[in-house]
Amino acid sequence: MKLIVRLFTVLIMFSFFFSCDNNDDSQATTTNLIYSATLNGANEVPANNSTATGTATLTFNTVTKAFTISVIYNGVTASAGHIHKAASGQSGPPVFPFSSLSSPINFTSDPLDASMEGDLNANLYYVNIHSSTFPGGEIRGQLIKNSSQGGSTTY
């Protein structure tokens, strides 16, 4: 009987020992990626001489696959605003139209598909604010992933 009690005790000790490890499955992981843009007339294609300026900050949630963006601008009366798809220095079609044009513009996307997420990570989207003076776009800024998150710093 003593042998059974000792074996049982050793078995419990081994079970306790092997069930404790350093793997903390509850560690928080980064679910948000930050992109930013500086908007001005020089970034337009073709460039213009507008003195208007702006900034945009986009937060992409890697779990929900949706993003929120805040666009702050001044020196322009916006007639339209969008996020377009194209590389820096190129023009592309609007993909995400802003329903409100008052600064600050706040917009939340629907979930992105894998292709759109890849384009976002490749810095292939830009913010464009249009006006009656520059109907093709008065100020533009390429959305660039924050370099501390493994993004490019090339504009």
**pLDDT value of residue 147:** 78
Task: State both tokens at 123.
Answer: 């810095």
**pLDDT at position 29, please?**
67
Identify the band that residue 149 occupies on the pLDDT scale cut at 50, 70 and 90.
low
Sequence-ordered list of residues with C-beta below 8 angstroms from that of 118, at least 6 positions apart, any chain: none
Which residue has better confidence, 76 or 17?
A: 76
Give the pLDDT confidence score for residue 154 in this predicted structure. Answer: 40
From residue 55, how far is each of 43, 74, 88, 144, 150 by CA, in Å? 12, 10, 16, 12, 21
pLDDT tens-digit series, residues 49-93: 999 999 999 999 999 999 999 999 999 999 999 999 999 999 999
- The residue among 45 and 29 whose pLDDT is bigger is 45
Q: Is the model's pLDDT at 48 over the cut of 60?
A: yes
User: Mean per-residue pLDDT for 90-115?
Assistant: 98
pLDDT value at 143 more than 60: yes
- Least confident range from 25-34, 61-70, 134-143: namely 25-34
* Residue, of 27 and 92, whose pLDDT is higher: 92
User: One-letter amino acid identity for 53?
Assistant: T
pLDDT at 15: 47
Q: Which of 23-37, 40-54, 84-98 is predicted least confidently?
A: 23-37
Largest CA distance in the chain: 95
Long-range (24+ apart) CB contacts under 8 A made by 42-47 are 43/88, 43/126, 43/139, 43/140, 43/141, 43/142, 44/128, 44/134, 44/136, 44/137, 44/138, 44/139, 44/140, 45/89, 45/90, 45/91, 45/137, 45/140
